[in-house]
Amino acid sequence: MVTDAKADVKRVARSNEESRIGQLCIEHGLKMTGQRRVIARVLSEAEDHPDVEELYRRASALDKRISIATVYRTVRLLEEKGILERRDFGGGRARYEASEPGHQHHYHLIDVDTGRVVEFEDEEHEELIRRLADRLGFDLVSHRLELFGRRIDSSKSAMDEGL
């Protein structure tokens, strides 16, 4: 089936109401150009942590007019507004994910051999961090945890079972 690229771009731009990041942009008073809408949609639909080049590949597949410079500028702006968070999982490239204020923290376990990033939640860790901050006399504002490891055994593990 052949699709019209302009129609795809218009569809993505019109369907911004469903884009979580697009809504955050609007709430922060950002002007939403067609290209920003496409980038916001791609980020909203990402199930991974894309770097700028991967984001560019995905966005430019929807709108050929999007340049790598536009993606860099947009990512920088969204990061400044607190809409995106930069992550460093090694490998020399910053990766990004949507900020989710008010939501349960999630953490990252990075396989140093494959680069695979596993997200997980851990209420015990949350409680430990809160108690530690309290014991040291701090009101915890934010925290992040990124674990780097190597699989012990390639056989079935908790990672395969979704932690």
Residue 18 annotated as binding site: no
| Cα angle for residues 67, 69, 70 (degrees, 5° grid) | 65
Q: Percentage helix, strand, coil, to 5, in the chain?
A: 45, 15, 40
Q: What is the DSSP letter of 104?
A: P
Q: How far is CA 66 from CA 3, 46, 105, in A?
A: 18, 18, 33
Give kind and range of the element (H or E) at residue 10.
helix 5-14
Q: Is 20 helix (H, G, I), strand (E, B) or coil?
A: helix
- Nearest Cα neighbor of 6 from 65, 54, 58, 55 is 65
Residue 126 annotated as binding site: yes
Residue 143 annotated as binding site: yes
Other CB atoms within 10 Å distance of the CB of residue 20: 15
Residue ranges of the annotated binding site are 105, 126, 143
Residue ranges of the annotated binding site for Fe cation are 105, 126, 143
